[in-house]
Amino acid sequence: MGGKGFDWLRQTGTETLRPFLFTIKGTCGTRSGRGWKGFYPMDNPILVTGGAGFIGSNFILQWLRQETGGVINFDKLTYAGNLRNLASIATDARYQFVHGDIVDRDFVREVLQRHQPSAIVHFAAESHVDRSIHCADDFIRTNIEGTFVMLEEARAYWANLAAAGRERFRFLHVSTDEVYGSLGPGEPGFCETTAYAPNSPYAASKAASDHLVRAYHHTHGLPTLTTNCSNNYGPYQFPEKLIPLTIVNARRGKPLPVYGDGLNVRDWLYVEDHCEAIRAVLSRGKVGETYNIGGDTEKTNLEIVETVCSAMDELKGDAQLFPHKKLVIFVKDRSGHDRRYAMDASKIKRELGWAPRETFESGMRKTISWFLENDEWVREVTSGQYREWMSTHYALEP
């Protein structure tokens, strides 16, 4: 039993193949969950990388509600990964957490051999554009090198499967609309054939990973699928991103930073709708293809912030904070800030019958309520390293 992940489990485990509870004390507070001594065999689970992050944890929760198979969650638990997101399924026998780094090739190989997944859904990435502007090293390492390792090891694993397993296996790579660059006003949304023009180090690292995925299908026949999605929002999103940051700061009466003139446009999609789209692509997508996913909900950043402020006003909390809009401050623009993203999601709608269930209004209601009801989660993830990042980045008291 080699590899960092299992060693880590061994330290807190028991001698038999039974579940145990573990507690880790880290910079983001104390985390608890369930682990297994060795590994717990499941029938062809899927392997999810990055499953304790925002979209990955929503995906695992939805998977266990909607599907019958098991899930192995392979995550390094960076500042963005939080096992508390998955506390409600910690005792589900169809779920297992493996702590590891996707760049650790030997360990990735070992995990694939041990768990024999029927598919890999690859979410793990450094995901925050602003961080990639300040320091891109981890983006290159995880997003490019890590995806390369996942592809190489998936290829070796897939090549050795029996015929039925080879036929069934899929490698689904989760990517972003940012690889296409920026749109001018009135230009049609990005479609699957739009030329790549990534502008930030984050977008460039995702574009590189998309190209690697494409090449592994083209050259080696690996059964890949790629999804490129627009901006997500919803529960468990790390409060460095616009929507959760605005909700959390508005509640605490802190400044609501808007970059530049606030007129940059993003196409917003509720996270559960993104997860449903990924499940549709995984089960019915055509091997080697890419699918664009979006919410047909273009909003300027100022519209987003004003929506949150109005909702907070209606909740009638601390009267001193009314109207919350007075907390808005215009700050220095993001370097190389993309002006507008919009997705043409007609292919996935037409071919796979997917459509978002939530409107912007219903999705925002759910999201704001979730953040207001889960202040303990917010407090936990906004401690430690995150506070340092915020104070350096905004030069504000976090």
Q: Which of 75, 110, 177, 210 binds ligand DAU (CB under 6 A)?
A: 177
Number of residues that bind ligand NAD (CB under 6 A): 30
CA distances (Å), 370 to each of 16, 50, 278, 364, in order? 38, 22, 23, 10
The string over 125-148, giving b where at least 16 C-beta atoms fall within 10 Å of a residue's C-beta and e elsewhere, is bbbbbbbbbeebeebbebbbbbbb
Nearer to ligand DAU, 89 or 174 (CB): 174
| Among 90-98, 170-178, 180-188, 375-383, the segment contacting ligand DAU (CB under 6 A) | 170-178
Residue 194 touching ligand DAU (CB under 6 A): no
- Residue 202 falls in the annotated catalytic set: yes
Residue 57 touching ligand DAU (CB under 6 A): no
Q: Which of 334, 347, 349, 366 binds ligand DAU (CB under 6 A)?
A: 334
Beta strands in 224-334 (DSSP E): 224-229, 231-233, 256-259, 265-270, 290-293, 298-300, 328-331
Site string for ligand NAD, 18-57 (x = CB under 6 A): -------------------------------xx-xxxxx-
Q: With contact defined as beta carbons under 8 Å apart, do 52 and 33 qualify?
A: no
| Among 72-80, 108-116, 186-194, 277-285, the segment contacting ligand NAD (CB under 6 A) | 72-80
What distance in Å separates the CA atoms of residue 198 and residue 206, rounded to the nearest whole number? 8
Number of residues that bind ligand DAU (CB under 6 A): 19
Amino acid letter, residue 75: D
Residue where the block lists tokens 């993309």: 338
Amino acid letter, residue 212: L
Quick one: what does residue 77 bind among ligand DAU, ligand NAD, none, with the CB cut-off 5 to 8 Å set by partner type?
ligand NAD
Residue 142 touching ligand NAD (CB under 6 A): yes
- Between CA 210 and CA 220, with CA 216 as vertex, the angle to 5 degrees is 165
Residue 371 touching ligand NAD (CB under 6 A): no
Q: With contact defined as beta carbons under 8 Å apart, do 80 and 386 qualify?
A: no
Q: Which of 153, 178, 296, 306 is catalytic?
A: 178
Quick one: what does residue 55 bind among ligand NAD, ligand DAU, none, with the CB cut-off 5 to 8 Å set by partner type?
ligand NAD
Q: With contact defined as beta carbons under 8 Å apart, do 121 and 49 qualify?
A: yes
Sign of CA dihedral 327, 79, 118, 69: negative
**Which residue from 172, 170, 175, 171 is spatially nearest to 208, judged by alpha carbons?**
175
Strands 256-259, 265-270: pairing is: unpaired
Residue 103 touching ligand NAD (CB under 6 A): yes
CB of 4 to ligand DAU, least distance (A): 26
Residue 174 touching ligand NAD (CB under 6 A): yes
Residue 86 touching ligand DAU (CB under 6 A): no
Q: Is 350 helix (H, G, I), strand (E, B) or coil?
A: helix
Q: Which of 177, 267, 276, 306 is catalytic?
A: 177
Residue 241 touching ligand DAU (CB under 6 A): yes
- Residue 177 falls in the annotated catalytic set: yes
| Among 105-113, 150-158, 256-264, 313-321, the segment contacting ligand DAU (CB under 6 A) | 256-264
φ/ψ (deg, to 5) at 41: -70, 135
Enumerate binding residues for ligand DAU (CB under 6 A): 127-129, 176-178, 230-231, 241-242, 245, 257-259, 264, 266, 301, 334, 341
Positions in the binding site for ligand NAD (CB under 6 A): 49-50, 52-56, 75-78, 80-81, 101-103, 123-125, 127, 142, 146, 174-176, 206, 229, 231-232, 238
**Catalytic annotation, residues:** 177-178, 202
